[in-house]
Structure 1
Amino acid sequence: MAHDHTQDHRPPTDLGPAFRWAVGLNTGYVIVEGAAGWITGSLALLADAEHNLTDVDGLLIAWGAAVLAKRAVTARHTWGLGRATILAALFNAIAILVGVGAVTWEAVQRLSDPVAVPGLTVMLVALVGIGVNTGSALLFMSSRKGDLNAKGAFLHMAADAAVSGAVVLAAVGIMVTGWDWLDPAVAIAVSLLIAVTAAGLFREALHMSLDGVPFEIDRAAIADWLERQDGVQGLHDLHIWPLSTMRTALAVHLVWQGADPDAFIDRVTDALAEAHGIANVTLQLERRPCDRAA
Structure 2
Amino acid sequence: MSGHHHHGHSSHSHHDRHGPHGHMPTDFSRAFAFGIALNIIYIIVEVTYGILAGSMALLADAGHNLSDVLGLAVAWAGAELSKRPPSKQFTYGFGGSSILAALLNGLLLLVACGAIAWEAIGRFSTQSDVASTTVIIVASIGIVINFATAMLFIRGQKEDINVRGAFLHMMADAGVSAGVVIGGVAIYFTGFNWIDPLVSLAIVALIFWSTWG
TM-score computed with the length of structure 2 as normaliser: 0.69
C-alpha contact (below 8 Å) 2:183/2:196 kept by paired residues = yes
One-letter amino acid of the counterpart of residue 108, structure 1: I
Q: Which residue of 1 aligns with 2:35?
A: 22
C-alpha contact (below 8 Å) 2:84/2:93 kept by paired residues = yes
Instruction: Tell me how far apart the structure 2 counterparts of residues 7 and 154 of structure 1 sit (CA, whole Å).
Output: 26
Residue correspondence of structure 1 range 102-251 to structure 2 within 5 A: 102-141=115-154, 143=156, 147-199=160-212, 202=213
Residue correspondence of structure 1 range 251-262 to structure 2 within 5 A: none
Structure 1: which 5+ residue stretches go unaligned? Answer: 1-5, 203-294
Q: Which residue of 1 aligns with 2:89?
A: 76
Measured after TM superposition, the shift of residue 19 of structure 1 is: 0.6
Measured after TM superposition, the shift of residue 23 of structure 1 is: 1.0
Measured after TM superposition, the shift of residue 168 of structure 1 is: 0.8
Residues 177-222 of structure 1: per-residue CA shift (max 9 Å, x gap): 11000111122234434544444xx3xxxxxxxxxxxxxxxxxxxx
- Percent identity of the aligned residues? 43
Q: 1:138 to 1:106 in 2, by over 3 A?
A: farther
Instruction: Tell me how far apart the structure 1 counterparts of residues 115 and 164 of structure 2 sit (CA, whole Å).
Output: 23
Q: Which residue of 1 aligns with 2:13?
A: 11
Count of matched residue positions in the alignment of Structure 1 and Structure 2: 194
Structure 2: which 5+ residue stretches go unaligned? Answer: 1-7, 15-23
Instruction: Tell me how far apart the structure 2 counterparts of residues 197 and 56 of structure 1 sit (CA, whole Å).
Output: 14
Q: Which residue of 1 aligns with 2:76?
A: 63
Q: Which has the larger strand fraction?
A: 1
One-letter amino acid of the counterpart of residue 13, structure 2: P
Q: Secondary structure at the match of 1:74?
A: coil
Measured after TM superposition, the shift of residue 7 of structure 1 is: 4.5
Measured after TM superposition, the shift of residue 175 of structure 1 is: 1.0
One-letter amino acid of the counterpart of residue 185, structure 2: V
Per chain length, whose mean CA-contact separation is higher, i.e. which structure has more relative contact order (CA < 8 Å, sep 6+)? 2
Q: Which has the larger helix fraction?
A: 2
How large is the RMSD of aligned CA atoms in angstroms?
Answer: 3.5
C-alpha contact (below 8 Å) 1:104/1:188 kept by paired residues = yes
